[in-house]
Structure 1
């Protein structure tokens, strides 16, 4: 149930509102099998997980930007329970600005270019937001 909501709600709005009719790519992040199947059925041109560069956190907005912000804010003080940590993460997620998320996504083309120039190796980038 959550997987269906988590995928269909943003994906029904995001591509059109953000990219119009231009080309865009959906990159799943460690998605469960049911989500992967949904993507295959709903995105005929989906790039198979096996075709993405191996171990590429530098190409995943959650890894190169968002997780660090979530961790810094939500874990700024110790939690006594998993429930407390989950609530802190949800609160922090809710405070992420559209501007920040847009800048994170907009950084992707430059990161991809740096990745290609480094022949898939390590590369360094400067924060743009």
Structure 2
């Protein structure tokens, strides 16, 4: 089961929708209001944690604070364990997580041992090896025409989009793992095309 956190910003979707138009300006018109588009320096955003396996996606957890070890253990307890039950039932699983400080903390390792969940050894800074990174990208592209006005509308849009991700999409991403590993080996650890792949 792969897990990850991701940030969704309201301004991101407006950018996606409006990034295409270009304008021709005459000399001296660079700051004419007619040719400018406003931007938001600190747009409303939400941070969330999700999980997936070849069987589909688990429930989303919207985070209200920075993820420290205590918060991460709450996420594991209240979202990851139910996701594991939903996706695996009584079958064995190996949990994949990033190497953020809260993930790799001794207390988190102890939590996994106490719950009998093996954690996959994982290299740092390796988004091209984590299929859920691509799943976030798929979700964000599906939302590109959404127009949430506030954080609550953004959350509702994310939930609706996440619900339409199929087990088949997840299975294809998990099935790509041997090719991802081969690509990373061939690139000698440099970034690969799997950073941007669907």
Structure 1 unaligned segments of length 5 or more: list them. Answer: none
Instruction: Determine which of 136, 143, 159 is the counterpart of 1:90.
Output: 159
Match of 1:12 in 2: 85
Match of 1:41 in 2: 114
Question: Could you say what the CA RMSD is over the residues aligned between the two structures, in angstroms?
Answer: 3.1
Match of 2:140 in 1: 71
Deviation at residue 82 of structure 1 after TM alignment: 0.7
Deviation at residue 31 of structure 1 after TM alignment: 8.7
Hey, what's the Cα distance between the residues in 1 that align with 2:181 and 2:94? 13
**Which structure is higher in strand share?**
2
Deviation at residue 79 of structure 1 after TM alignment: 1.6
Q: Higher Cα Rg: structure 1 or 2? A: 2
Structure 2 unaligned segments of length 5 or more: list them. Answer: 1-73
Hey, what's the Cα distance between the residues in 2 that align with 1:78 and 1:97? 23
Aligned residues: 120
Q: Deviations over 1:80-118 (max 9, x none)?
A: 101111100000000101111111111122101211222
Match of 2:25 in 1: none
Hey, what's the Cα distance between the residues in 1 that align with 2:190 and 2:88? 30
CA contact (8 A) 1:75 1:85 kept: no
CA contact (8 A) 2:129 2:181 kept: yes
Hey, what's the Cα distance between the residues in 1 that align with 2:152 and 2:160? 12
Secondary structure of the residue aligned to 1:104 is: helix
Change in 2 beyond 3 A, CA 1:77/1:98: same
Secondary structure of the residue aligned to 1:27 is: coil
Q: RCO greater where, 1 or 2, for CA within 8 Å and sep 6 or more? A: 2
Secondary structure of the residue aligned to 2:96 is: coil
TM-score after normalising by structure 1: 0.71
